[in-house]
Amino acid sequence: MELKVMRTSFLSLCIILLWSCAQVRTPTGGDKDIVPPRIISASPKNMTTDYSGTKIVLTFDEYVVLEQAKNQILFSPPLAKDPDVKLKSSRILTIDLGENILTPNTTYTINLGEAIKDINEGNVLADNVFLFSTGSYIDSLSIHGKAVSARFQESITDVSMLAFLTGADSIALGRRPRYVTRCDGQGNFHFGHMAKGDYELIGLLDVDKDLRVDKNEAFGFLLDPVSADVEPDSNLILSISALDSEGHTFKRAEWTTDGRSVLITSRGNVDSLHVLWPADREPVHKETWGRKDSVRYWFAAPLNTGELTLVTSTDTKVDSLKLGRVTENVKPWAPGKSTLNYSQDSLRIRFDRPISKVDTSLVHLLQDSIRIPYQLIGKDPMQLELTADWQYGANYSLDFLKAAVTDIYGSTSDSLTWPIKVPTEASLGRLNLQLILDPGNYLIYLINKDKKPLYQTKSTGSFTWKLPPMAATEFWIWVVMDIDFSGDWTAASYLQKRLPEPIYYRSESIKLRANWEMELQVIPTFNR
């Protein structure tokens, strides 16, 4: 009996040991695997000619995973229908072309992108481009260049590049390209294995991944065709910008609950929207900001529930905007934003509503509790500008006594106070900026790291810009060649065959130090 138990225990131990040896385990310890997977066999073989099949099978040298195949795998020329891509046994990838009809005498490129990675460390497949031709040879010509943002000429990624053969394809919105590729992480693009010919190029932020230029997607194009060549021009630059007026559409409208104003947001510059106001209900003030993709309209008399239907129209769309429920919700007065940068500057004071009247007898500027003289002017219905003989390093208080300000609805303000601190002279720097420009119409900006303007001016040629004293800061120079005299940078228009307005952006920042005067000469070179 005792011997039988011992034999049973021994057999159980052997089974456990054999089972442990048979299991496939990820090796532990040792150096990290940095070797990418590779294709060890392909049917048909890479670079096959006279191909007429419908299925491609690739076998890898190790276990892999397939990730985001639809977004990563790119066929050029693009196929009419997405092929069926599957991974079998973790080592075999099949690409079934299905009902797609391949174009005769054409070289096809399959770029697997980062869709194939090894199963352990996520190393991306090496040599991820597969080629075949339906003709007797592999095309060898190419085009390459770089995509940049039109506004600041910075490298831009996630751009799909589309090539249309001149005279054979239509570059009109909605058509599919002859060849397609993607920009890399630095914005560089490369069309390879192209047939001989001249091509029109479009760069596209292809949000819906359909390889079609939709009117809500930023894009760029070249006016002149580019020839495919053995050694293509490496200085080819394509600027990407949002569509101009033909792509601008109404986005949404937000009414204030008191019926006093409506905020309208657009996909594009709001100046391209046309609002048809009913008689006797036109707004009294229009308020825009920044890049002008939104506008707030103020009405002299608050609107009533359901009283007004507005029609916002573009070239392609009409929207009715009906005022919802209106409630009695009068906001209390509150100090708005005020800005004073240096001793000779004016104090700019913003309110949260349009104002109609200011009683200056109820507005006091105090220094050490002593009233001092000032000048007060209205810049617009939302803003006042106050100037005084400011003293460097001094503290002031600007007091609006009760009822000093009356808004367009007849209500008067509560008591409001703005404390003012004037910087010391030693804390400020000065900049004299000499710009060398050909005769023309220019908009010149000093912008911060967020691309928001700090100072701006205009010019028709070379000049020296003596800026006011300012706090120590870092900024960049941005110059727009204002060809259409719009007073703003204008994006591209495909329908009008108009490139974005040329710009100069100095990527090297200017660092202004306190108690320092800087002289700087800039000779802009414009790109578009």
DSSP string, 443-470: EEEEE-TTS-EEEEEEESS-EEEEPPPE
User: Cα separation of 486 and 480, whole Å?
Assistant: 11
Residue 488 confidence class, pLDDT cut points 50, 70, 90 = confident
Q: Classify residue 377 as left (phi > 0), alpha (psi -120 to 50) or beta.
A: beta
Q: Are residues 117 and 162 in the same domain?
A: no
Q: Are residues 126 and 149 in the same domain?
A: no
Find which of 91-95, 180-184, 206-210, 317-321 is predicted with most confidence, using mean pLDDT: 91-95
- End residue of a domain, out of 89, 117, 133: 133
- End residue of a domain, out of 298, 322, 346: 322
What's the mean pLDDT in 170-183?
76
Residue 23 pLDDT > 50: no
pLDDT of amino acid 11: 43
- The answer to the question of residue 13 being in a domain is no
Find which of 119-123, 155-159, 345-349 is predicted with most confidence, using mean pLDDT: 119-123
Q: Which tokens is 286 given?
A: 């229009």
The count of other CB atoms within 10 Å of the CB of residue 379 is 12
Q: Are residues 436 and 388 in the same domain?
A: no
Residues forming beta bridges with residue 512, ordered by sequence position: 473
The alpha carbon of residue 370 and the mean position of all alpha carbons in its chain are separated, in whole angstroms, by 51
pLDDT of amino acid 349: 85
Tokens 């200017």 correspond to 510
Name the DSSP class of 51.
Answer: -
pLDDT of amino acid 174: 59
Residue 28 pLDDT > 70: no
Q: Are residues 225 and 308 in the same domain?
A: no
Quote the percentage of the chain above a pLDDT of 90: 41
Q: Are 261 and 299 in contact (CB under 8 A)?
A: yes
Of 10-24, 161-175, 452-466, the poorest mean pLDDT is in 10-24
What's the mean pLDDT in 505-514?
91
Q: Are 421 and 395 in contact (CB under 8 A)?
A: yes
Q: Are residues 368 and 446 in the same domain?
A: no
User: Cα separation of 492 and 223, whole Å?
Assistant: 11
pLDDT of amino acid 188: 92
Q: Is the peptide bond before 439 cis (omega within 30 degrees of 0)?
A: no
Q: Are strands 55-60 and 39-43 parallel, antiparallel or unpaired?
A: antiparallel
Residue 469 confidence class, pLDDT cut points 50, 70, 90 = confident
Give me the count of residues in the chain.
528
Which is more confident, 528 or 433?
A: 433
pLDDT of amino acid 314: 56
Cα–Cα distances (Å) from 145 to 176, 219, 391, in that order, read 21, 15, 55
pLDDT of amino acid 158: 82
pLDDT of amino acid 478: 95
Q: Are residues 175 and 118 in the same domain?
A: no
Residue 216 confidence class, pLDDT cut points 50, 70, 90 = low
pLDDT of amino acid 8: 47
Q: Are 190 and 159 in contact (CB under 8 A)?
A: no
Q: Are residues 47 and 88 in the same domain?
A: yes
Q: Are residues 343 and 317 in the same domain?
A: no
Tokens 């190790």 correspond to 62
pTM beyond 0.75, yes or no: no
User: Cα separation of 44 and 61, whole Å?
Assistant: 17
Domain that holds residue 352: 338-423
User: Cα separation of 388 and 101, whole Å?
Assistant: 78
Residue 527 confidence class, pLDDT cut points 50, 70, 90 = confident
User: Cα separation of 283 and 300, whole Å?
Assistant: 7
Q: Are residues 506 and 456 in the same domain?
A: yes
pLDDT of amino acid 259: 77
Which is more confident, 9 or 249?
A: 249
- The answer to the question of residue 9 being in a domain is no
Q: Are residues 95 and 148 in the same domain?
A: no
Q: Which tokens is 314 given?
A: 């573009």
CB-count exposure of residue 29 (10 Å: 0-12, 13-18, 19+): exposed
**Sign of the CA dihedral running 458, 459, 465, 466:** negative
Residue 327 pLDDT > 60: yes
Q: Classify residue 90 as left (phi > 0), alpha (psi -120 to 50) or beta.
A: left
Residue 496 pLDDT > 70: yes
What's the mean pLDDT in 308-326?
64
Tokens 């990675």 correspond to 117
pLDDT of amino acid 126: 85
Residue 507 confidence class, pLDDT cut points 50, 70, 90 = confident
- The answer to the question of residue 461 being in a domain is yes
Helix (H, G, I), strand (E, B) or coil at 298: strand
pLDDT of amino acid 84: 95
Please tell me the total count of domains within the chain: 5
pLDDT digits (tens, 9 = 90+) for 342-378: 666 788 888 888 999 999 999 999 998 899 999 998 8
User: Cα separation of 16 and 9, whole Å?
Assistant: 11
- The answer to the question of residue 246 being in a domain is no
- The answer to the question of residue 33 being in a domain is no
- The answer to the question of residue 28 being in a domain is no
Q: Are residues 208 and 284 in the same domain?
A: no
pLDDT of amino acid 3: 41
- For position 273, which CATH number holds? 2.60.40
Helix (H, G, I), strand (E, B) or coil at 201: strand
In 3D space, the residue among 61, 173, 171 whose CA is nearest the CA of residue 119 turns out to be 61
User: Cα separation of 387 and 349, whole Å?
Assistant: 11
- For position 165, which CATH number holds? 2.60.40.10
What is the separation, in whole angstroms, between the first and last Cα of the chain? 95
Share the mean pLDDT of the chain: 83
Of 192-201, 294-303, 431-440, the poorest mean pLDDT is in 294-303
- The answer to the question of residue 10 being in a domain is no
The count of other CB atoms within 10 Å of the CB of residue 4 is 8
In 3D space, the residue among 259, 261, 403, 255 whose CA is nearest the CA of residue 329 turns out to be 259
pLDDT digits (tens, 9 = 90+) for 385-413: 889 998 888 999 999 999 999 998 888 98
User: Cα separation of 473 and 450, whole Å?
Assistant: 13
Q: Is the peptide bond before 77 cis (omega within 30 degrees of 0)?
A: yes
- End residue of a domain, out of 194, 210, 240: 240
In 3D space, the residue among 236, 197, 250, 241 whose CA is nearest the CA of residue 219 turns out to be 241
- For position 75, which CATH number holds? 2.60.40.3710
- The answer to the question of residue 160 being in a domain is yes
What's the mean pLDDT in 469-495?
88
Q: Are residues 223 and 267 in the same domain?
A: no
pLDDT of amino acid 180: 92
pLDDT of amino acid 457: 94
Which is more confident, 417 or 438?
A: 438
Quote the percentage of the chain above a pLDDT of 70: 81
In 3D space, the residue among 192, 196, 197, 203 whose CA is nearest the CA of residue 237 turns out to be 203
pLDDT of amino acid 317: 59
Which is more confident, 475 or 268?
A: 475
Q: Are strands 428-435 and 517-522 parallel, antiparallel or unpaired?
A: parallel
User: Cα separation of 439 and 455, whole Å?
Assistant: 22
Residue 19 pLDDT > 80: no
Residue 316 pLDDT > 60: no
Residue 245 pLDDT > 60: no
pLDDT digits (tens, 9 = 90+) for 262-309: 888 876 667 767 777 777 778 888 888 766 778 888 988 777 766 666
